[in-house]
Chains A and B, each alone.
Chain A
Amino acid sequence: MNATPNSNPAGNRTAGNEPLHSGKGRKSVEEHEELLRIALEGGDLGYYDYYPQTGELIWSARTKAMFGLPPEAEVDYNIYVKGLHPEDKQRSDAAVQKAMQPESGGLYENEYRTIGITDGKTRWIRSKGRLYFDEAGKAIRFSGITQDITERKNAEERLADSEKRYRQIFEGTPVSIWEKDFSKVVIELQRLKEKHGATLYSYLHQNRDEVHRLMSLVKIKDTNEASLKMFDAEKKEDLLKGLAVLFTPETLPVFTNELLAIANRQEDFESEYPLQTLKGRKIWCLVKTRLPQNDDYSRVLVSRFDITDRKKAEESLKESEAFNRTILENSPDCIKILNAEGRLQFINVNGQEHLELDDFAQVASKCWWELWDVKNEEKVKAAIQKAMNGEKAQFQGAALTAKGTLKWWDVVVSPVIEQNNSEKPKRLIAVSRDVTNQKQAEESIRRSEERFRGTFDNVAVGIAHVGLNGKWLMVNERLCQIVGYTKKELLSKTFQDITYPEDLETDLQLLQQLQEGTIETYSMEKRYFHKSGSLVWITLTVSLLRDGSGAPNYQIAVIQDITLRKQAEDALKESEDRFRALAETLEHVVDERTEALQRSNEDLQQFAHVASHDLKEPVRKIRTFSDRLHTEFEGILPERAKLYLSKIETSAERIYAMINGVLLYSSLDADDQVFEEVDLAKIIGEIATDLEVLISEKCAVLHRKQLPHVKGSPVLLYQLFYNLINNSLKFAKPSVAPEISIKAEEIGNKKYWKVIVEDNGIGFSQEEATHIFQTFTRLHAKDKYEGTGLGLALCKKIVERHSGSIEAEGIEGRGSKFTVTLPA
């Protein structure tokens, strides 16, 4: 530690030390912190407490677990660094360093990975803390809470993965796929159904305007590359304008039937109708719609297949055989002619290629169903039967080609109507389209979608798709739990409806930046109203999903309940506040005590001064009158009276010296001495002159070497060295001539001088050296060596007034050594 305890004003927080040293205060803070720790542990949170100046680091068991450490493990800052994921080390260290600067405001927040020190597991940790600084701006305490957010991070990653995969398949599939929002039309159909009941069918078929209105409620959210090709579009936006762009008058009745299917919540349905491309080209489409099962109609997938060729083939069949044949041969589909028994009579060339036949002879006159998988046999036979009854039959099925490739087929079987003949058909035409690619694409979309749904519904965090206007489009179970609404209730609301008003502005601003593209994602802590009316604290992370053209489509929001954490933080803050209040109270008490102490110290000095002063007068008189008695009655006094008189005189002299000492000692605090440059050689010379009599009496030798100039008060420095040299003379060995050496050494690059006064006197023990500087300490009997018991105490006080120090070293019987350190 580099803090010198003396330089701290009383009541100040000392670096690295708890400011509360004793008493009830510390106990209550400790108890309170303990309660808080229990609260944190209970609330799934860990905590840490770090004292940068001592390096002391405290982690709760939970924090240790986040670094893969057992609860009893010892921790320090190196352990923390060791546990960090290599990719996060630099960033996390920078975040800590930044927070350590007082300009940062002392707030620290970070998310980082750890690699468990004993278990090697990777974990995501969120840490939030606060730093405390001393007056010099040095960080003295760094404490906060940690939370294991691995699950949330993983969920976010899985979700992002799933979304990405879904997008890839969506964009890459050769099938024209459309993402439509049916939520409004479903609500509207529900209303109409409740109003019209069984007559809804005729109501819709008779009210074109109503169908147009319903049509406009269907929002096209996205489509893919295959659709652009199919509908002669140059950019996606042209196709996202609405259904009406592609509809022809013939489309409407079929579309009406589709609406009825939606109204009846039919899961899967297909329709065939003509549509027009953007260039006005008419194409026939097979439209497959799959309604979701979870009442979320905001993202319904619709696929469209171009069946124009098949339609043409069907129509052309009615025309001349030769012409027909040409068409047949040119059709990309597999077109077969069957006899009434269902035996193969003809397969067009393209069809043979599809079936990987080398020669039609391989299958000629075989029953058609033999080409199919056994599972499909009944389906094939039923279709033949239906067509033989004059109706068109459709089915879908899988079959192996001649070379064993599994292919999916979309099949339409129609009777060949012979001219002028109303009898049973003699021949059937079967048009099969190879839909393997579509099937596979559909399959992967379905799987991807399922996976997406699975992630969506099962993760432990709330996830939602939110429309640009704030409407909840899709919400998962966890989110419903967090806010207490059912899915249905939530889907009829916007996020604005349930956001706590104070938090709304910030959220909307960030959302706007997100939509404008100035930020890619944002996170914030905010409050929702729970259905029960209570407030729920959550963290919200929002990113934006754009459609193929780059326009914002919808937002993905990840929502996590942090109410517990917030409560812990509130408790922490409350505890901090109480702690601070307590600390302030204590500081106040310390200030008061210091003041009282100063007062009492001043009183004491005043007392010592007055007492000594008043004491001096009677003592002076004892001395004066003893002196007169002695001199004026010398001849008359008996010897014994003279002896008594001399004892009185000696005692009075000692009292006088002591009083002078006390007066000097007590006035040292009060007087402001002027500091100037003092030549020590000159001072020591003066002392030597003043002590001349004593020096020659004792035959003492005074060695002086290299004495420097120092800053100080000449009067006080005189007193200091006078006392030391006088002591050396006083405490000389009875039969040895005193040798006193005074020399100086420079230390700390001329910042300080060490002045050493050494003698060969009676010395003192090392134990005695420790209290030699206390007032009224005497090591020797009064009658043996004279002294007031104040000389060295005064020396210490003088040295301290000069911001220096004094040390005593002695060997009993060998001499003493006093080292005075003074600023140069």
Chain B
Amino acid sequence: MKSSYTILYVDDDRDDLMLIADAFEKYTEHLTVVHAYNGIEGLSALKKMNETDSLPCLVILDINMPRMDGKEMLRRLRSHSDFKYLPVILFSTSNSSKDKLFAEEHHADFITKPVNFSNIQSLVAEFVSRCKLELVK
């Protein structure tokens, strides 16, 4: 069993990055959150991790981002042999049924960004437990 694990969080919104970082604070002992600000950066971060054989246990993708959005990045992950089975969560303000359908079709979860901070905290707790589960596998 690994002693620490990595989550890749791709979002251009610095406020959200801060909120998520705050929520992750109490798990930092075993956890590294890698940030990327758009799909292109996210992909190159993943490739680097792949070289050192340290792929993240979870990829969280915002949808609306400059240069390459979350949906496009998800599409590319699913057509890449090494990233095909990475667990991905599309994480957006939207609750559009189209986006939900897109997520489903690309074997990703869809979560609407919560409004209350307490809800964010419980969500992060869930992410962490999912990662632990991944590691057990």
* A interface residues, Cβ below 8 angstroms from B: 613, 616-617, 620-621, 623-624, 627-628, 631-632, 656, 660, 663, 667, 671
Q: Which residues of A contact B115 (CB under 8 A)?
A: 620, 623-624, 627, 656
Is B113 part of the binding interface, using a Cβ–Cβ cutoff of 8 Å?
yes
A624 to B115, CA, bound (A): 5
Given A613-B96, A616-B93, A617-B13, 5 extra CB contacts under 8 A: A620-B93, A620-B115, A624-B116, A627-B118, A663-B95
A523 to B5, CA, bound (A): 103
> Which of B19, B94, B95, B117 counts the most chain A CB atoms within 10 A?
B117
Given contacts A620-B93, A667-B96, A671-B97, contact A627 B116 (CB under 8 A): yes
Is B45 part of the binding interface, using a Cβ–Cβ cutoff of 8 Å?
no
Chain B interface mostly helix, strand, loop or mixed? loop
A519 to B56, CA, bound (A): 100
Given contacts A617-B13, A624-B19, contact A631 B117 (CB under 8 A): yes
Q: Which residues of A contact B117 (CB under 8 A)?
A: 624, 627-628, 631-632
Q: How many Å from the CB of A65 to the closest CB on chain B?
A: 71
Q: Which residues of B contact A660 (CB under 8 A)?
A: 95
Q: How many Å from the CB of B25 to the closest CB on chain A?
A: 13
Closest 8 CB pairs of A and B: A623-B115, A628-B117, A617-B93, A627-B116, A616-B93, A627-B117, A620-B93, A621-B15
A-B residue pairs in contact (CB < 8 Å), sample of 14: A613-B94, A616-B93, A617-B13, A620-B113, A620-B115, A621-B15, A624-B115, A624-B117, A631-B118, A632-B117, A656-B115, A660-B95, A671-B97, A671-B98
Closest B residue, CB atoms, query A622: B115
Is B93 a contact of A613 with CB atoms below 8 Å? yes
Is B86 part of the binding interface, using a Cβ–Cβ cutoff of 8 Å?
no
How many A-B pairs fall under 8 Å by CB? Answer: 37
Q: Which residues of B contact A617 (CB under 8 A)?
A: 13, 93
Q: How many Å from the CB of B116 to the closest CB on chain A?
A: 5
Is B120 part of the binding interface, using a Cβ–Cβ cutoff of 8 Å?
yes
Q: How many Å from the CB of B107 to the closest CB on chain A?
A: 22
> Which of A620, A660, A663 counts the most chain B CB atoms within 10 A?
A620
Closest A residue, CB atoms, query B101: A671
Within 8 A of A (CB), among B80-137: 93-98, 113-118, 120
Q: Which residues of A contact B120 (CB under 8 A)?
A: 624
Closest A residue, CB atoms, query B63: A613
A632 to B116, CA, bound (A): 12
Quick one: CB contact mask for B47-79 with A, threshold 8 Å, 1 for yes?
Answer: 000000000000000001000000000000000
Q: How many Å from the CB of B21 to the closest CB on chain A?
A: 13
A634 to B23, CA, bound (A): 19
A667 to B96, CA, bound (A): 9
Q: Which residues of B contact A620 (CB under 8 A)?
A: 93, 113, 115
Q: Which residues of B contact A663 (CB under 8 A)?
A: 95-96
Q: Which residues of B contact A656 (CB under 8 A)?
A: 115
A628 to B113, CA, bound (A): 15
Q: How many Å from the CB of A746 to the closest CB on chain B?
A: 32
Q: Which residues of A contact B13 (CB under 8 A)?
A: 617
Q: How many Å from the CB of A301 to the closest CB on chain B?
A: 102
